[in-house]
Copies of this chain bind each other. A is one copy, B any other.
Amino acid sequence: MTTYTPPIKDIQFVLHELLKVTESDVPGYDELDPEFTQAILDEAGKIAANVLHPLNKVGDEEGCRLENGVVRTPKGFKEAFDQVREGGWTGLDCDPEYGGQGLPHLMNTAAGEMFSSANMAFQMYPGLTHGAASAIHVHGSEDQKQTYLPKLYSGEWTGTMNLTEPQCGTDLGLIRTKAEPQDDGSYLITGSKIWISSGEHDMADNIIHLVLAKIPGGPEGVKGISLFVVPKFFVNEDGSLGDRNAVSCGGLEEKMGIHGNATCVMNYDGARGWLVGEMHKGMRAMFTMMNEARLSVALQGYAQGEVAYQNALGFARDRLQGRDVTGTKNPNGPADPIIVHPDVRRNLMDQKVYVEGGRAMVYWGASMIDRSHRLNDDEAEAMISLLIPVLKGFLTDKGFETAVNAQQTLGGSGFTREWGLEQFVRDARIAMIYEGTNGIQSLDLVGRKLGMNGGQTIMAFFEMVKSFIKENEGNAGLKAGYLDPLKEASKDLQAAAMYFMQEGMKNPLNALSGSYDFMHLFGHVTMGLVWAQMAKASMEALEGGASDTEFYETKLATGRYYMARHLPATKLHLARISTGAEPVMALDAANF
């Protein structure tokens, strides 16, 4: 019952009018002219709309089944994966030296958005593969790269990340999985991992597991964790597949959503693996992957918001109920479409601003990753590291909220399975949890990122906002509707940062008690910035005589709505932060 229309015009707007990619000095961006990106987006959009989205409900209803150690994915998933890999989508932004197509990460992000909107559970299979390949690319030996990357890039094989165990999720220092060194340089891995997305399935010839484990005798806690590559089937010298390794799926998790993705208990029973990177430096290897992985989860947030919003909008235009209070709009029908009603619009606008703002934030983030990787730009690397917990935490919270709001647009129909909105809500929910819960994101932000480089990076962010405002204050329309609210919100963020620096020094609980609010406050300011930038770009287009005036005027009105009705949330977050630890920590644990 749901539909998905690739939002290509909006994506092109972000690429070319907000980010102005062809003007960038990042190697490879010069090729991204509008015709070229249009062609890529069109093709990705076709796969998303015609191949992946029709399987979204099937995946939810059938789910995955474990039969004699084999995981059966939902009907049609394998054939869809064939189309995705044959189209070259699995290696789009990967290293050409190992068979990738070498496009910027930004373009992979754009295609990934559409695939994720269309079918989030499906997109996790190539998504995790991409993450595993990146880890091998950065930390693996040349031999490992030669062995694994071409097949992971081509999608013939898929990959996984194995971190969590029953007794540890956030606190990976508690890992028990053991890796015992063998004479031939390999390790025998023993232990059980849980919640392994795409851990076992029937869509690829081999599965390459990246596993965190401890080598006996190493340091205690997180300092003694190493990263291993453990293939499901061994790979012979000639690249052909050999024997099955001692790794197996011990069970599938029944979950609230993303049923089409196999969430596995993975048992390693003396499975043979090989160290990736340095011994005991597994956490560091994971961390270097984290920006990319968390950005892709931030994307999932607004991508589920996008498809939910599209369907809510369709319903609001079709459903006839009540009459426009300012005068009948549909005199020949029994009632007017509900989009005429102010509270329905309020809800739709609430959805729209976070979807479009979220896209701008994530694409900007992807462009910083490209800048960091392709120019070895440390400032870009620092800035994206600062922003990653904000993007992940804020956009997945808002993405879920958007899906819930879209469901609400449908009234009772939104609660039924038939209309499909409730699936978007159930699927979107996981993004707030995995890749580090949003609470953990907020601790990363306040505990680690805020003070990074002696506070220089956060200062650079403030400076960026300030310069943008200063450079454009001469534009009266931009100033009143966009820059002034942004300035206000930015002051709130600075006040909160100051509070943490001063009060957090005296008592770390004062900072930690406000971390979640700080993440949202930061998210709002960042979204305020990109909306102001999009408003500027829209004004420029209108001034430049763009023919599609409605498109740009709609962007301006949408941004104004965000500025007027959402950005003021910064004051509430600051008020909450300013109360410090006392209200939060007042109760004894026994008295809750």
Contact = CB atoms under 8 A, between A and B. Distances in A.
Contact of A557 (B320, B408, B434, B586): B586
Interface string A545-557: 0000010011001
Contact of A565 (B335, B349, B576): B576
B416 A170 contact: no
A126 interface: no
Given A349-B584, A572-B572, A584-B342, A169 B561 contact: no
Given A174-B334, A585-B342, A412 B256 contact: no
Interface residues of A, number: 92
Contacts of A255: 415-417, 422
Contact of A345 (B404, B571, B585): B585
A411 B557 CA distance: 38
B575 A568 contact: yes
**Oligomeric state, in number of copies?**
2
A414 interface: yes
A514 to B, nearest CB: 8
Contact of A591 (B174, B320, B344, B550): B550
A568 B422 CA distance: 31
Interface string A232-268: 0000000000000000000001111100000000000
B443 A415 contact: no
Contact of A170 (B253, B411, B516): B411
A512 B341 contact: yes
A374 interface: no
Contacts of A513: 342-343, 345-346
A195 interface: yes
A125 to B, nearest CB: 18
Contacts of A426: 256, 426
Given A174-B321, A341-B512, A571-B572, 5 more contacts: A171-B322, A346-B584, A407-B429, A415-B433, A426-B426
